[in-house]
Amino acid sequence: MKFFVSLWLALLPLSGVLGTAVPSKYVLSSRQIPKRASRRFRRGLSPSSVSLEDYFNGTDLQWFGSIQVGTPPQNFTVVFDTGSFDLEIPGVSCTSCTNQNKFNGSASSSFQDLQSQSTITFATGVGVDPVVNNDYQLKLDGVRDTISVGGLAAPNISFFLITHPFNSDPFDGILGLGFTVGSFFQSLVNQGLPALFSLYLAPQGSEGAELTLGGIDSTKFNTAMQFAKVQANQDFWNVSSSSIAVNGQTATVLQAPQSLTFDSGTSNLVFPPDITEAIYGLISSDIKPNSAEPGTYGVACSEVPSLNASIEFTFTSTSGTLFNLTIPSSELSVGPFISNTSLCQTLINAQSGPAIVGASLLKHYYTTWDLGNQQLGFAAVNTSEATNSTSGQSIQSSSSKSTIANYGKNLYFVLVPFVLLLALQA
């Protein structure tokens, strides 16, 4: 099994952290949409949904869907990532991109070559095979063209063409859904799309995974959606959790408020060591660090069926009430280590830095990422609707108070947008 980790782990070269590989500030307070603009937006683009496919390899790794780039449009499949900002897809000059669709700029009348090239060298932190200290290079060209998703077109968007990758996956690239200057999603909002999107990351065996731009698919859930305020002056989708518990039991360090970064491009969890140790201590004393691959933990695979432990995160809703989000015990193991198949890796990796919550939790909820109101919504999934949702979906944009109301095999799909954000803005 392998899974994505985040930038701060991914950028750990053998000698230390890459000091230059940092993103521009992504400040949530700057996202607030003026009321006058909100009225104008309601007369603009209508919500649209895109079906997603689950990339499953022993565990749910990534969800990807179709986009179009250029004029006339060329088709690609991408991971939709809430933790990044840009599009990266292979270009025709990538001779080693044998399994991916490749973008041909010369075939697009709206294509612009920005005449910028980047070479990024970094160390991976990918899952169990192995966790750290693999150096890779990724080469990219900066370009500009029209990007379309679900019939919603954003013209003149800067993005990157991959000219040399280090791995291959069943999808072509990544499209970041971050709301920053010149981004795909910001362009749609500027055209009048309501400033929110929703995700359902249906797990293996379920159907109906989708991204809805500009609205909410109410067929996916039948409970009230709980919204939590996104922390202001933060870079990403950070929400404060007041406590963490396992089967209702907690520890001192878990009762302190924690800033959790929700990231659809991360498949599991990455927490600071003290939080990781405290959670595992409440689950089983048999979960131990795997010294062969620092940062990971494991337990004998024979013990996994007996690990009956749910991880619960408590939040305060925008209405002031408390609510919990739960990771069920079925998520505790992501599968055997390649180097020791009798030892199963557990879902939390430990590393100093931000606490990141990925699809281990997100796939159990329908989520709405409300940029206009700076809040993140969660509703328990309506399993019967999600499993059989093939037509007749009810798409709505939010109203009144909420007027404008995601670790796979290939690390660059999470890494590159963070590293290269400054390149296109230079």
Q: How many residues does the chain have?
A: 426
pLDDT by residue (tens digit) across 296-324? Answer: 999 999 999 999 999 999 999 999 999 99
Cβ neighbors of 393 (< 8 A, separation 6 or more) are 49, 217, 219
Closest CA to 421 of 88, 17, 20, 85: 85
Residue 129 has a pLDDT of: 44
Residue 93 has a pLDDT of: 94
- Encode 267-282: b = buried (16+ Cβ within 10 Å), e = exposed: bbbbbbeebbbbbbeb
- The pair of three-digit structure tokens given for residue 73, joined into one six-digit string: 């449009």
Is the pLDDT at 403 greater than 70, yes or no? no
User: Is 81 labeled as catalytic in the residue annotation?
Assistant: yes
CA atoms of 246 and 225, how far apart (whole Å):
23
Q: Which residues pair with 300 in a beta bridge?
A: 343
Residue 207 has a pLDDT of: 86
| Residue appearing with tokens 């963070």 | 418
> Would you say 408 and 3 are in contact if contact means Cβ atoms under 8 Å apart?
yes
Active-site residue (options: 81, 86, 145, 172): 81
CA atoms of 347 and 297, how far apart (whole Å):
8
Closest CA to 27 of 353, 316, 374: 374
CA atoms of 132 and 270, how far apart (whole Å):
14
Is the pLDDT at 134 greater than 50, yes or no? no
For the beta sheet containing 196-200, the strands, ordered from the edge strand earlier in sequence to the opposite edge, are 48-51, 210-213, 196-200, 365-370, 375-380, 226-229
Residue 98 has a pLDDT of: 87
User: Is 129 labeled as catalytic in the residue annotation?
Assistant: no
H-state helical runs in 286-365? 359-362
What are the DSSP calls for 370-426, one per residue? ETTTTEEEEEEB-HHHHHH-SS---EE---GGGTT----S-THHHHHHHHHHHHHH-
Is the pLDDT at 200 greater than 90, yes or no? yes
Task: Place 233 in a pLDDT band, splitting at 50, 70 and 90.
Answer: confident
Residue 347 has a pLDDT of: 94
Is the pLDDT at 25 greater than 90, yes or no? no
pLDDT by residue (tens digit) across 263-297? Answer: 998 889 999 999 999 999 999 999 999 998 889 99
CATH number of 216-402: 2.40.70.10
Task: Place 138 in a pLDDT band, splitting at 50, 70 and 90.
Answer: confident
Task: Place 187 in a pLDDT band, splitting at 50, 70 and 90.
Answer: very high
Closest CA to 68 of 179, 165, 157, 200: 157
CA atoms of 246 and 281, how far apart (whole Å):
9
Higher pLDDT, 178 or 67: 67
Give the angle subtended at the CA of 154 by the CAs of 209 and 236, to the nearest 5°. 60
Measure CA of the first residue to CA of the last residue in the chain; give whole Å. 38
pLDDT by residue (tens digit) across 209-226? Answer: 999 999 999 999 989 999
CA atoms of 84 and 87, how far apart (whole Å):
9
Cβ neighbors of 97 (< 8 A, separation 6 or more) are 90, 162, 165, 168
> Would you say 259 and 238 are in contact if contact means Cβ atoms under 8 Å apart?
yes
Q: Using alpha carbons only, how large is the chain's radius of gyration in Å? A: 21
Task: Place 397 in a pLDDT band, splitting at 50, 70 and 90.
Answer: very low
Residue 338 has a pLDDT of: 87
> What percentage of the chain exceeds 90 in pLDDT?
60
Domain range 7-195+409-425, CATH architecture? Beta Barrel (2.40)
Residue 202 DSSP symbol:
P
Higher pLDDT, 115 or 418: 115
Looking at residue 46, its amino acid is S
Closest CA to 49 of 219, 228, 265: 219
- The pair of three-digit structure tokens given for residue 34, joined into one six-digit string: 């003026």
Average pLDDT over the chain, rounded to whole?
Answer: 79
Distances in Å between the Cα of 371 and the Cα atoms of 31, 67, 374 are 6, 22, 5
Residue 406 has a pLDDT of: 27
Closest CA to 257 of 322, 319, 309: 322
Domain with CATH 2.40.70.10 in the chain: 7-195+409-425, 216-402
pLDDT by residue (tens digit) across 32-55? Answer: 444 444 444 445 799 999 999 998
Cβ neighbors of 34 (< 8 A, separation 6 or more) are none
